Structure 1
Amino acid sequence: MNTPAHLLMGAAVFGRPAQTKILLAAFFGAVLPDLSLYVMAGTSLLILGISPQRVFNELYFSDAWQTVFAIDNSFILWGILCLVAIWWRRPWAVALTGAALLHLCLDFPLHHDDGRPHFWPMSNWVFESPVSYWDSAQGANWVAPIELVMALACGVVLLVRRVPIWAVPLTLVLMAAEIWIVRQWLFFFTNS
Structure 2
Amino acid sequence: MNTPSHYILNLAVLGTLSPGFNGAITLGAIAPDFPIFAFYLVVRAIEKRPKETIWSEAYYEPFWQNCVAIGHSVPLAVLGLLACLYCGWQPGTLFFGSAILHSCLDFPVHNDDAHRHFFPISDYRFISPVSYWDPRHYGKIAASIEFLLVLATVPIVFNLLESPISKGILGAIALLYLWGYTRFYLPIPSPAKSSQTPQNPPS
User: Above 0.5 in TM-score?
Assistant: yes
- Aligned residue identity for 2:75: I
Quote the residue 1:82 is aligned against: 81
Between 1 and 2, higher relative CO (CA 8 Å, sep ≥ 6) is seen in 1
Quote the residue 2:50 is aligned against: 51
Quote the residue 2:108 is aligned against: 109
Quote the residue 2:36 is aligned against: 37
Alignment root-mean-square deviation, CA: 2.0
**Separation in structure 2 between the aligned mates of residue 175 and residue 150 of structure 1, nearest angstrom:** 11
Quote the residue 2:198 is aligned against: none
Structure 1 residue 183 displacement after superposition: 3.7
- After TM superposition, the structure 1 stretch with the greater mean CA deviation from structure 2, 151-160 or 110-119, is 151-160
Structure 1 residue 39 displacement after superposition: 1.1
Quote the residue 2:11 is aligned against: 11
Superposition map of 1:1-192 within 5 A: 1-16=1-16, 17-19=18-20, 22-161=21-160, 163-165=161-163, 166-186=165-185, 192=194
- Aligned residue identity for 2:99: A
Cα distance per residue 1:88-108 (max 9 Å; x no partner): 222211221111111100101
Give the 3-state SS of the residue equivalent to 1:15 in structure 2. Answer: helix
Structure 1 residue 67 displacement after superposition: 0.8
**Separation in structure 1 between the aligned mates of residue 58 and residue 88 of structure 2, nearest angstrom:** 40
Structure 1 residue 182 displacement after superposition: 3.4
Give the 3-state SS of the residue equivalent to 2:55 in structure 1. Answer: helix
Structure 1 residue 129 displacement after superposition: 0.4
Structure 2 unaligned segments of length 5 or more: list them: 195-203
**Separation in structure 2 between the aligned mates of residue 189 and residue 10 of structure 1, nearest angstrom:** 32
- Aligned residue identity for 1:141: K
Structure 1 residue 60 displacement after superposition: 0.7
Give the 3-state SS of the residue equivalent to 1:57 in structure 2. Answer: coil
Q: For the pair shown, which has the larger CA radius of gyration, 1 or 2?
A: 2
**Separation in structure 2 between the aligned mates of residue 113 and residue 67 of structure 1, nearest angstrom:** 16
Aligned length: 189
**Separation in structure 2 between the aligned mates of residue 91 and residue 55 of structure 1, nearest angstrom:** 38
TM-score when normalising by structure 1? 0.89
TM-score when normalising by structure 2? 0.85
Q: Which ranges of 4 or more aligned residues in structure 1 deviate by more than 4 Å?
A: 187-191
**Separation in structure 1 between the aligned mates of residue 101 and residue 125 of structure 2, nearest angstrom:** 18
**Separation in structure 1 between the aligned mates of residue 174 and residue 41 of structure 2, nearest angstrom:** 23
- Relative to 1, partners in 2 of residues 1:45 and 1:120: Cα closer, same or farther, differing over 3 Å? same
- Relative to 1, partners in 2 of residues 1:50 and 1:41: Cα closer, same or farther, differing over 3 Å? same
**Separation in structure 1 between the aligned mates of residue 183 and residue 116 of structure 2, nearest angstrom:** 27
Cα distance per residue 1:141-192 (max 9 Å; x no partner): 111111111112222111134x211421122122223333434542589773
**Separation in structure 2 between the aligned mates of residue 132 and residue 184 of structure 1, nearest angstrom:** 18
Give the 3-state SS of the residue equivalent to 1:152 in structure 2. Answer: helix
Q: Identity of aligned pairs, percent?
A: 29
